[in-house]
Structure 1
Amino acid sequence: MEDPWPVVVVGAGPTGVTAARLLAVHGVRCVVLDRWPAVYPRPRAVHLDDEVCRILHRAGVHEQFAAISRPAEGLRLLGPDHRVLAQFSRGTTAGIHGHPQANMFDQPRLEAILRRAVADDPLVTLRGGVEVTAVRADGAGAVAVAVTDRGSGERAALRARYVLGCDGANSTVRTQVGSRMRDFGFAQRWLVVDVDTDAAIDAWGGVHQVCDPRRAATYLRVGAHRHRWEFRLLPGETAAAVSTPATLRELVRPWTGDVPFEALVVLRCAEYTFRAQVADRWRAGGVFLLGDAAHLTPPFIGQGLGAGLRDAANLTWKLASVLAGGLPDAALDSYEAERRPHVTASIRLAVGVGRAMTRGGEVGDLLRRAVAPRLVHVPGLRARVLDSTTPALRPSALRRRRWVPWSRAGRLCPNPVLGDGRRLDDVLGSRFAVLVAGPVPGEVAAEARRRRVVLVPVEPGSALGRWLGRGGARAALVRPDRTVMRTGADAAALLRAAPALPLRRVPHRGPE
């Protein structure tokens, strides 16, 4: 019996390919299987925040992503008549995480960048045009994956230590392991319209949200020539009826003004049902669910795709450590323990925002007209509305419980510019790190080198020093996903808590 692949990834969307790339960064071989022979060409996700941009940095594609994305300027709330109720403006320069807080982009272009990255990596094999039909434990400590070539009909079987189900909302992997979606009772039908045009559309550069109980709408400038509109469909209304040129012309006119509709090239006009769901089980033995296979998020806070990339960042380094013998297999249970509550909080927030902007009928409309203009004057609210910071991870085997509310454990460390001009993420790479305030004893530095842990001395008055001090700690152990695993006063003790990770190497590509 041939040796199994360390990891088989099912699905070559952004979550699956990012997972493959991060596994390769840690020196883990994998094969990615996808039913499409190339990048799916239709635009879908359009937003990633600064926390998720750090994941793209670790995947080695942040510069390419920056070249195809544009920072968004905030949020504007509009009434049904398109008068501005409130505007929350943000800067477009890099924030605490080293990237702009809101970044608009075209998903197929991001996918092409990710695929080029894995195509150049000998640790990743990408097979398109194949259908995964079955996933099951093979009784010999591995997972069997049945695959059918969509062109020839030829069948094959792969064996894997671990399988990552990144195959979307209609996940075959989720069905195979018997996991079911838990519904949060939110479903809205929307028409999504993507447009390309050379015409000058003179619209503010942030997100426009029309708060209208009858026809809620969203507008986003995605790029120099790309624009997106989303319109809520009325009960009984068909997408076909709203998609006619005459109807679309009237729907987009508040933004396009005198620009002729004929100057707009409609790339996509499709109905979507925005749902809020979370799978009841994310792991079954050696099989894991990631991205839309594990959760569906309404788009109102722009966290749908980002949640999938967070899944990949959370799980891949743990898999690498288990495969290298640095962690026991049971440590992989921390993936669901950490990610499921985190994404559930994001989904609940998205549902709440969606309902606040679209429900309530005439009474709700009157309340929004009365309340929204006053929101910008509430102390601290502007910062909260624009803040991209997500909640701390729940405690797990790989995230120490916080004993004080200001503890840094479970949160992302910042990514400031260091004294040598580099950002922290450039120094940390894909390894564990210990940030230490003040001088570092020689024996601690030697132990860090032996364990291949990055040791970062922190000046007390620097951005990192102030961050540590406000957290009541002198040192912090930072995981490869940039989450603070634990803090304390003893850097040596934190070093000893860092699990082993494999060395990056390039072996034979493995079973074909």
Structure 2
Amino acid sequence: MTVVPVVIVGAGPTGLTAATLLAQYGVECLILERWDSVYPQPRAVALDDEVHRILARLGLRDEFAAISRPHRGLRLLDRNMRVLAEFQRDVEPGRHGYPQGSMFDQPELEAILRQNLKQYDTVTLRGNTEVTALTQEAGGVRIDFTDTATGEHDVVRAAYVLGCDGANSLARASIGASMQDLGFTQRWLVIDVVTEADLGQWEGVHQLSDPARAGTYMRIGKTRYRWEFQLTPGETADDFRDIAQLHPLIARWTGNIPVGELEIIRAAEYTFRAQVADRWRDRRVFLLGDAAHLTPPFIGQGMCAGLRDGMNLAWKLAGVLDGTLPETVLDTYEIERRHHARAMIKLAKFIGTAMTAGGEVGNLIRRAVAPRLHLVPGLTDLATDSQTPPLHRSDLVIRPRLRRTLAGRLCPNATVDGDRRFDDVAAGRFAIVTSHEPSPTQRADIERRGALLITAEPGSELYQWLRTGGARVAVVRPDGTVLSAGRQLRACH
């Protein structure tokens, strides 16, 4: 029987991200994927600058820039296409070194993720493979799978299994986990269109608050556009697969463009749900991505959450496998990620409800309130800031309960060495960021522990970040999250 340290079930963005990060630490992985190649249909279309950092960490900074385009934020429209409110995002690099939001085509992203993975000889990707059983045994997991092309059955054994196998996860079923419903279910039509014509629309997300049919529009590529419309009872995607049937829905944006210049790539029905698995781990099997959580798409965090899962878990698992970290650190994965994912799902649910619910009464309220939202102190910043909540307290996030702290938040990807940014310099290691000079003894201790010392010079971005957070020293984990922060090095080292 073949034995590998890690088996990853599923080669979507989450699985490919986790595999690449593990490969960067020299961990051997086997990815088992049911499809032979990239799944051709576009699904996720947006990510924020925090997740953009993860793609850069994978080595895809330039490749992703070539297939993506910054988006300018969100417009809330009424049924007559009148702008009720606009929340603009900065398309220039911000605290993380990238635009606050980017649009992309998921098949193109998966293609560059797969191509990038080929440089690592420690990773094997096997397609046309259906995993049929996961069985936990002493010291490992038995994985049974079938080659869907030949029907041949095979078995492999792994020290750990990462279940990145989507909403209908076999990995989730194998550990007896179930999805907890957070009380949001809506049926939507998702349409992807290709056209060489220029629609001439604002380069951001348009949210149509029409009580008759809520909708969303966004441009995701040079020639690719997406619309999403809430379905009414009795309607299905089959009612809109022909451009003549679809055109009345999208004509508000396409104007006088002839229907012959609009090609439907996909018209599919999706049920938007808000769900979180009741547990994300059983011994040596972990759940990541849609296997662990499902979110409505209103803040573009579905795929982002999966990549965050991979970033959180990979360095911990690599440390356990090479003996530099105790196995107990793996307990922090669910503690940290489950609370964060749940908070983002609740935010998406709130935004979706606020934009689409209430019928005519809700529409009247939005028309009255939305144009004045910019007058509410802090609301514009909340709507446009891409910063997500801090991670929950754990053994790797040392946060006091009643005092504000940087712990649990991402360290800015600031310029620290000429034109090099924090992530390039830290390169997946622990880092000590300090605004005062450590003693020779402290320096020696930092070097002995294998951590990187970064001095935040007065006036620099990192210096201001420490000062705003009431700290002079921060310990930053390999995933960029602050483990602890304080006034003295000895207090957080």
Scaled to the shorter chain, the TM-score interval is over 0.9
Q: 1:419, CA displacement in angstroms?
A: 4.7
Q: 1:491, CA displacement in angstroms?
A: 3.0
Given the two structures, how large is their TM-score scaled by the length of structure 1?
A: 0.94
1:57 maps to amino acid:
A
Equivalent residue for 2:15? 16
**Is 1:304 paired with 2:302?**
yes
Instruction: Output the aligned Cα RMSD.
Output: 1.3
Say which structure, 1 or 2, has more relative contact order (CA 8 Å, 6+ apart): 1
Label 1:125 to 1:492 Cα distance change in 2 as closer, same or farther (>3 A): farther
**Is 1:91 paired with 2:87?**
no
Equivalent residue for 2:394? 396
Could you tell me which of 433, 438, 441 is aligned with 1:440? 438
For residues 263-294 of structure 1, what are the alpha-carbon distances to aligned partners after superposition, in whole Å with 9 as ceiling and x for unaligned? Answer: 01111111111111111110011000000000
Q: 1:42, CA displacement in angstroms?
A: 0.6
Rounded to whole Å, the distance in 2 between the matches of 1:383 and 1:136 is: 48
Alpha-carbon contact 1:434-1:494 (below 8 Å) kept: no
For residues 74-96 of structure 1, what are the alpha-carbon distances to aligned partners after superposition, in whole Å with 9 as ceiling and x for unaligned? Answer: 11000112111111222210111
Q: Secondary structure at the match of 2:462?
A: helix
Equivalent residue for 1:245? 243
Q: 1:427, CA displacement in angstroms?
A: 0.6
Q: Secondary structure at the match of 2:107?
A: helix
Equivalent residue for 1:184? 182
Alpha-carbon contact 1:136-1:143 (below 8 Å) kept: yes
Q: Secondary structure at the match of 2:207?
A: strand
1:124 maps to amino acid:
V
**Is 1:466 paired with 2:464?**
yes
Deviates more, 1:444-453 or 1:216-225: 444-453
Rounded to whole Å, the distance in 2 between the matches of 1:443 and 1:420 is: 27
Equivalent residue for 1:415? 413
Q: Secondary structure at the match of 2:415?
A: coil
Equivalent residue for 1:505? none
Rounded to whole Å, the distance in 2 between the matches of 1:391 and 1:165 is: 25
Equivalent residue for 1:7? 6
Rounded to whole Å, the distance in 1 between the matches of 2:328 and 2:212 is: 50
Q: 1:461, CA displacement in angstroms?
A: 2.1
Q: Secondary structure at the match of 2:418?
A: coil
1:280-319 counterparts in 2 under 5 A?
280-319=278-317
Q: Percent identity?
A: 56
Q: 1:41, CA displacement in angstroms?
A: 0.8
Runs of 5+ unmatched residues, structure 1: 496-512
Could you tell me which of 484, 487, 491 is aligned with 2:482? 484
Runs of 5+ unmatched residues, structure 2: none
Q: 1:190, CA displacement in angstroms?
A: 0.7
- Structure 1 moving runs of 4+ over 6 Å: none
1:32-181 counterparts in 2 under 5 A?
32-139=31-138, 141-181=139-179
Given the two structures, how large is their TM-score scaled by the length of structure 2?
A: 0.98
1:321 maps to amino acid:
G
**Is 1:203 paired with 2:201?**
yes
Rounded to whole Å, the distance in 1 between the matches of 2:15 and 2:373 is: 40
Rounded to whole Å, the distance in 1 between the matches of 2:126 and 2:85 is: 48
Rounded to whole Å, the distance in 2 between the matches of 1:288 and 1:224 is: 38
Rounded to whole Å, the distance in 1 between the matches of 2:373 and 2:133 is: 52
1:244 maps to amino acid:
D
1:35 maps to amino acid:
R
Q: 1:238, CA displacement in angstroms?
A: 2.0
1:363-382 counterparts in 2 under 5 A?
363-382=361-380
**Is 1:428 paired with 2:426?**
yes
For residues 215-252 of structure 1, what are the alpha-carbon distances to aligned partners after superposition, in whole Å with 9 as ceiling and x for unaligned? Answer: 00000010111110001100111221233322211111
Deviates more, 1:217-226 or 1:458-467: 458-467
Equivalent residue for 2:263? 265
For residues 335-371 of structure 1, what are the alpha-carbon distances to aligned partners after superposition, in whole Å with 9 as ceiling and x for unaligned? Answer: 0000001100111111111111111111111101100
Rounded to whole Å, the distance in 1 between the matches of 2:353 and 2:211 is: 9
For residues 304-339 of structure 1, what are the alpha-carbon distances to aligned partners after superposition, in whole Å with 9 as ceiling and x for unaligned? Answer: 000000000000011011112222222211100000
2:95 maps to amino acid:
I
Rounded to whole Å, the distance in 2 between the matches of 1:55 and 1:90 is: 20
Q: Secondary structure at the match of 2:168?
A: coil
Alpha-carbon contact 1:46-1:107 (below 8 Å) kept: yes
Q: 1:493, CA displacement in angstroms?
A: 6.1
